[in-house]
Chains A and B, each alone.
Chain A
């Protein structure tokens, strides 16, 4: 019964999405207020029905209803309730439902926080979101219905993929989807503005907080995913340039470019056309990400689904969304004019450069990700592009981005004097160079130029961020009033750029100075790795709720300090999968990582012992960037924006209606 209820609710959701995607758009085009007024209630109703549908699926999981195919495939009575609930999005069908539900949440949010918008603009935004929803819901209903019943239900289910039975994998997909789908709001705003011909700084001010929130979730989702891969996949890497990771990283890069270019459009009214294009790109890449992961075209640990009908559907949907929006852009872009003037040396141009670099980086990742697929599809051979490609291309593109992130905030809008700026940063350049070189020489090596470059850059980012903030604050009399006078956006930017520095320190040091050993260890054998004495004390057998494990016992000693690490090798009963659970002693300056390999003769095991300096900094950098975004978005300017936009709306509406 519950599953059927969920199915019906899903169909009702589609009906509401159809209402939301047709009448308001037509109403906005013809100027029929009644049709436009449908947008809000239809959006809210859609969200309600999707929530009901999602809860029905969750209830089927909670009740172990194995007559539902999706539940039977991805759950088991031995699975703890907590994982049974997270199993709702553990595989293809449920995660698409989650995608749709999150789009419903974003729609609901737009209907609530939109009092300042004109009815017409809101009708267009919600109409476009409704059309996206129609596509996704049709996809779910036609190709991947999670409520499908089994004629002969099994006694017990097939269990959730053991890799996903983990807290990191529980929160990672919802966060990532919040980011992916959140970009649909920026996209809908851009398309609505193109349709209505009302591209101005009020539009940018309106679109900016939504984009920021999506970016925050995307940042968190990617950081969580990287952290999960590090401890769960059992070989200590945190980024693999796997196509699925790339699929989330490309929208992030473009969204990062977008929040910077939105700032220019809002503050200066420049780059309008470019900003719109970025908004289209960002959401298109999110959809492409969904396609890559969900069509099963990739050789990837993440590709659980493989069904050509699904692939074809998403590809068609992708073509309609991207093609349609670019076509509209092509029609309307020539009429978009920037009336602002700025000099060659100005903040505007530095931000443009930052945008170009970020988009180019996203483009080169796209090339490396899609090229093998295209070759394969054309029958020209099967190739794979190794991680070295991505690091070779990515590093030189990112170096100038880091330089810019340090210096651009110091530039004034409109025009800047290079001499003045260089006068101000001269000392910072020398300072970060000396700090970078000497710290690496003191703690690591005299000759390691690569690390020195990385650390110098990190010092540069941190020093310029702090200096810029300080010089803004010190314009006021008294430090306290200076600090208080700064807007949260400035705090956010400073924190995010410091986060970039923290991330860079983590990447540089962990990649250059990790010590990794794969060895055979006999019982009570000791191995010394980077000053740490690892002693193997044997393995014991333990029982988990749905697995049995061999748990290793490792004693690690350094300078009288003693830690015990207990990595596990788990055998999951139902799917009969083996899983490596690494044991990690995490610290601010280093991680110790032990993973069991295979049992060998006489109680010996093959083991991985890793020493990874500054590993945490990678994820802390991500969290700092996210926190910076949070500060920015809570700026009271955006709450005031409502009032200003209202006056803009009343001024603009007669023109738009005519």
Chain B
């Protein structure tokens, strides 16, 4: 095989590989992108219905209610300006507590309830998910250094 043919072959193989990968990646991207919305944006109706997204904020103190017969928990998250009610069935992460910054993944229902399939909290007391910190700053009502607010 000549050098030229080999080189052509190599280029073709690489291009095919990259092409397939890009196609797969873009298709999968379309399906799996999760956008982040602040509670204010959700309240203003900017978040999509019938499509999963992420919402994050601080768990409103006193809002956590457990169903006595099932594992369903209801609570509200806030960025200081608006609150979004969230329902989640399952075991909450160890660091979930009132006043903690959390992110939940799920869909919004027609009655405005956010049904979460996943709730994420950080394994560090002082650490705030960056999205949540940014949304608090944007809201301007709660200091992102939220330790003061919790007490």
How far does the Cβ of A404 sit from chain B's closest Cβ, in whole Å?
A: 13
Cβ–Cβ < 8 Å partners of A353 in chain B: 13
How far does the Cβ of A15 sit from chain B's closest Cβ, in whole Å?
A: 36
Cβ–Cβ < 8 Å partners of A607 in chain B: 91
Picked from A163, A356, A389, A598, the residue with its CB within 8 Å of the CB of B17 is A356
Cβ proximity bits A399-426 to B, threshold 8 Å, 1 near / 0 not: 0000000000000000000000000000
Bound form: Cα–Cα A343–B5 in Å: 10
Q: Is the CB of A385 within 8 A of B29?
A: yes
B130 at the interface (CB under 8 A from A): yes
Number of interface residues of A (CB under 8 A): 52
Bound form: Cα–Cα A305–B68 in Å: 40
A138 at the interface (CB under 8 A from B): no
A40 at the interface (CB under 8 A from B): no
With A301-B122, A353-B13, A578-B94 as contacts: A383 and B25 at CB distance below 8 Å: no
B111 at the interface (CB under 8 A from A): no
B113 at the interface (CB under 8 A from A): no
Picked from B34, B92, B94, the residue with its CB within 8 Å of the CB of A384 is B34
Q: Is the CB of A518 within 8 A of B71?
A: yes
A234 at the interface (CB under 8 A from B): yes
Q: Which of A80-88, A123-131, A360-368, A459-467 contacts B (4 or more CB under 8 A)?
A: A360-368
Cβ proximity bits A602-613 to B, threshold 8 Å, 1 near / 0 not: 000011100000
Q: Is the CB of A386 within 8 A of B32?
A: yes
Bound form: Cα–Cα A251–B13 in Å: 22
Cβ–Cβ < 8 Å partners of A344 in chain B: 1, 9
Q: Is the CB of B34 within 8 A of A386?
A: yes
What residue of chain A has the Cβ atom nearest to residue B27's Cβ?
A392
Within 8 A of B (CB), among A578-607: 578-580, 595, 597-598, 600-601, 606-607
Cβ–Cβ < 8 Å partners of B35 in chain A: 381-383
Bound form: Cα–Cα A499–B36 in Å: 40
What residue of chain A has the Cβ atom nearest to residue B54's Cβ?
A384
A328 at the interface (CB under 8 A from B): no
Within 8 A of A (CB), among B108-144: 122-125, 129-131, 134
What residue of chain B has the Cβ atom nearest to residue A163's Cβ?
B123
Cβ proximity bits B22-35 to A, threshold 8 Å, 1 near / 0 not: 00110111011111
What residue of chain A has the Cβ atom nearest to residue B34's Cβ?
A384
Q: Is the CB of B94 within 8 A of A382?
A: no
B90 at the interface (CB under 8 A from A): yes
Cβ–Cβ < 8 Å partners of B92 in chain A: 597-598
Picked from B14, B91, B103, the residue with its CB within 8 Å of the CB of A606 is B91
Q: Is the CB of A389 within 8 A of B9?
A: no
Q: Is the CB of B124 within 8 A of A304?
A: yes
With A161-B124, A344-B1, A518-B91 as contacts: A385 and B32 at CB distance below 8 Å: yes
B43 at the interface (CB under 8 A from A): no
Cβ proximity bits A335-370 to B, threshold 8 Å, 1 near / 0 not: 000000111100001001100110011011001100
Cβ–Cβ < 8 Å partners of B17 in chain A: 356-357, 360
A577 at the interface (CB under 8 A from B): yes
What residue of chain A has the Cβ atom nearest to residue B135's Cβ?
A382
A576 at the interface (CB under 8 A from B): yes
Picked from B21, B36, B131, B134, the residue with its CB within 8 Å of the CB of A393 is B21
A641 at the interface (CB under 8 A from B): no
A658 at the interface (CB under 8 A from B): no
Q: Is the CB of B32 within 8 A of A389?
A: yes
Bound form: Cα–Cα A353–B54 in Å: 39
A520 at the interface (CB under 8 A from B): yes
A575 at the interface (CB under 8 A from B): yes
Q: Which 4 A-B pairs have the closest CB atoms?
A: A597-B91, A382-B36, A392-B28, A389-B32
- 26 A-B residue pairs with Cβ-Cβ distance under 8 Å, sorted by A, are A161-B123, A163-B123, A234-B94, A299-B130, A301-B122, A304-B124, A360-B18, A360-B21, A364-B24, A364-B25, A381-B35, A384-B33, A384-B34, A385-B29, A386-B32, A392-B27, A393-B21, A393-B28, A396-B24, A520-B69, A520-B71, A577-B123, A577-B125, A578-B94, A600-B68, A606-B91
